[in-house]
Amino acid sequence: MSVISALPFLKPIHLQPLRSSPGRQRRHTLPASEFRCLSPEDAISVFEIEREAFISVSGDCPLHMDEIRHFLNLCPELSLGWFEEGRLVAFIIGSLWDQEKLSQDALTLHKPGGTTVHIHALAVHRTFRQQGKGSILMWRYLQYLRCLPYVRRAVLMCEDFLIPFYEKCGFRVLGPCQVTVGSLAFIEMQYPVRGHAFMRRNSGC
């Protein structure tokens, strides 16, 4: 059973349409809104959203198609997708890391013994931006991480202009990141994942 399905606050949200009259057939068969871990079958949808979101701003994607499939095969439980009527509209992909600071290896490796979740990418489909979906998805993801007993913190690297967004999500700046991609430099940020015992007692983890 998926870890998410066991958590009351992370169970898929099914927003059903209003009931129609008995003489009408239901027009919608898919839940209006759903959160779940991603699978390798979602890789193409993930890459399409990521490519459009990042290439126009940074000129490259945090994850290429083979890397997306790589992480969704190795650690799908560290991903989260937001679906509207079956269509992926936003996602987060993470993996485990086992060192204090991110390095170039962190871009492609998953360290099963690690206690740090490296968030590789957060992206929202262009038609669903400016609606707060990125912040909502990140909040749900961080709450989910609280129920994974081996996770102690989450880290990410971002460009300067994204620092205010992640600070509002609860991250704090650690300093310049050792990782570079081409001419791009990044800031490393951290979110301490606390409250494991409390969350397990009160949410069925």
- Average pLDDT, integer, range 29-44: 88
**Catalytic positions, written as ranges:** 95, 109, 120, 122, 166
Between 56 and 60, the more confident residue is 60
- In this prediction, residue 182 carries a pLDDT of 82
Name the burial class of residue 179, with classes exposed (0-12), middle (13-18) and buried (19+) by CB atoms within 10 angstroms of its CB: middle
Here the tokens at position 122 are 């957060």
pLDDT tens digits for range 171-191: 999 999 999 888 889 999 999
Say if residue 199's pLDDT is above 90.
no
Quote the CA–CA distance of 52 and 47 in Å, as a whole number.
8
Distances (CA, A) of 122 to 17, 18, 91: 28, 32, 6
pLDDT tens digits for range 140-168: 999 999 999 999 999 999 999 999 999 99
**Residue whose pair of structure tokens reads 């996770």 in the numeric block:** 151
Domains of the chain: 33-155 (3.40.630.30)
Instruction: Classify residue 161 by its DSSP letter.
Output: G
pLDDT tens digits for range 70-120: 999 999 999 999 999 999 999 999 999 999 999 999 999 999 999 999 999
**pTM attached to this predicted model:** 0.80
pLDDT tens digits for range 123-132: 999 888 888 9
Pair 111, 96: CB distance under 8 Å:
yes
pLDDT confidence tier of residue 192, bands split at 50, 70 and 90: very high
Between 141 and 3, the more confident residue is 141
Measure CA of the first residue to CA of the last residue in the chain; give whole Å: 12
DSSP 109-136: ---TT-SEEEEEEEEE-GGG-SSSHHHH
Say if residue 18's pLDDT is above 80.
no
Say if residue 61's pLDDT is above 50.
yes
Tell me which residue of 148, 149, 143 sits closest to 191, measured CA to CA.
143
